[in-house]
Amino acid sequence: EPEVTQTPSHQVTQMGQEVILRCVPISNHLYFYWYRQILGQKVEFLVSFYNNEISEKSEIFDDQFSVERPDGSNFTLKIRSTKLEDSAMYFCASSDLSPGKETQYFGPGTRLLVL
């Protein structure tokens, strides 16, 4: 069964450093998403992406964040200058919005720790 993959599984970085989280969505999906989950808290929407542009972003997704689909398979989340409060699990998801197929499939996540 096709699945969403994410790399790395864990990332430790120093405050102020840039990080890039990578995702490979399911191959025939057209919509891509990033969510995050701070430890012990709810899963929060960050951004959705379709047709090479951002469809919607939350207030969390400020100028320090960017997303990109650099080729036909990868979908990346960049945090330009990490802060302590960016420490979280980051989940990528993808979906195909054909009728009856709107389910989002999640990757296993990248645990980011900012020191």
Partner 1 sequence: GNSVTQMEGPVTLSEEAFLTINCTYTATGYPSLFWYVQYPGEGLQLLLKATKADDKGSNKGFEATYRKETTSFHLEKGSVQVSDSAVYFCALTLFSGGYNKLIFGAGTRLAVHP
Contact residues for partner 1, defined by CB under 8 A: 31, 33, 35, 41-45, 48, 50, 55-56, 58, 91, 93, 95, 97, 100, 102-109
| Residue 39 Cβ vs partner 1, minimum distance, rounded to whole Å | 12
Query: In 3-state terms, what secondary structure has residue 115?
Result: coil
Q: How far apart are CA 114 and CA 19, in angstroms?
A: 10
Of 31 and 65, the one with the shorter C-beta distance to partner 1 is 31
Nearest to 36 by CA among 63, 16, 65, 14: 65
Of 70 and 100, the one with the shorter C-beta distance to partner 1 is 100
CA distances to 5, 18, 103 from 22, rounded to whole Å, are 8, 13, 21
| Residue 42 Cβ vs partner 1, minimum distance, rounded to whole Å | 5
Of 40 and 72, the one with the shorter C-beta distance to partner 1 is 40
| Residue 15 Cβ vs partner 1, minimum distance, rounded to whole Å | 26
Q: How far apart are CA 36 and CA 50, in angstroms?
A: 19
